[in-house]
């Protein structure tokens, strides 16, 4: 898998998790906007900018992966691993940088303690990225000898490209 494939999968993961965040937490649950420290108009504008960035990441990642597939260089196991690393990376970055360092918004307002929400959000991101890393490590291991054989001879009852005799 090339760096181009990894970049496409990470962008796709970032875009997908940004979409989940925006749809679920911003629009459905109304827990927060991307930027909550100003007027309602600024909050809506910030959500629109997040949506635009998310859409660019999805489209760019999709095009990079489609081009890599067209060239024959896409390895699905690696792509899924990098996609999960990107999704988890978005979540942890959002949880640490946006929620705690920059304080542009919190996960939820009007609750007695943010700790359960912060832990759930960040641990879910770490879990996603961790599963992605495990998939990447597993994809690097060589496949068993039986799985590496290709072609009809590798299939049960295959003839290895031989034509059966006519009767």
Return all residues near 81 (Cβ < 8 A) that are at least 6 apart.
9, 132, 133, 134, 135, 136, 139
Tally of domains within the chain: 1
Instruction: Say if residues 83 and 6 touch (Cβ distance below 8 Å).
Output: no
In a domain, 149, yes or no: no
Rounded Cα gap, residues 99 and 54, in angstroms? 18
CA distance 51 to 35: 13
Report which of residues 99 and 129 the model is more confident about: 129
The answer to whether residue 20 sits within a structural domain is yes
Q: Answer yes or no: is 110 within a domain.
A: yes
Is 82 part of any domain? Answer: yes
Interval 69-96: pLDDT, tens: 999 989 999 999 999 999 999 999 999 9
**pTM to 2 decimal places:** 0.79
Q: What percent of the chain has pLDDT over 70?
A: 84
Q: Would 157 be classed as within a structural domain?
A: no
């Amino acid at each position: 898998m090339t760096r181009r494939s990894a970049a496409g999968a990470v962008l796709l993961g970032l875009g997908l998790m940004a979409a989940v965040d925006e749809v679920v937490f911003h629009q459905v649950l109304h827990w927060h906007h991307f930027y909550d420290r100003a007027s309602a108009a600024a909050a809506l504008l910030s959500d629109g900018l997040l949506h635009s960035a998310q859409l660019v990441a999805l489209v760019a990642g999709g095009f990079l992966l489609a081009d890599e597939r067209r060239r024959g260089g896409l390895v699905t196991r690696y792509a899924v691993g990098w996609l999960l690393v990107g999704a988890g990376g978005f979540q942890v970055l959002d949880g640490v940088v946006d929620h705690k360092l920059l304080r542009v918004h919190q996960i939820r307002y009007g609750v007695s303690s943010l700790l359960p929400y912060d832990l759930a959000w960040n641990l879910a991101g770490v879990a996603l990225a961790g599963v992605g890393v495990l998939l990447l490590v597993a994809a690097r291991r060589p496949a068993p000898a039986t799985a590496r054989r290709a072609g009809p001879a590798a299939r049960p009852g295959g003839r290895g490209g031989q034509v059966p005799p006519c009767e």
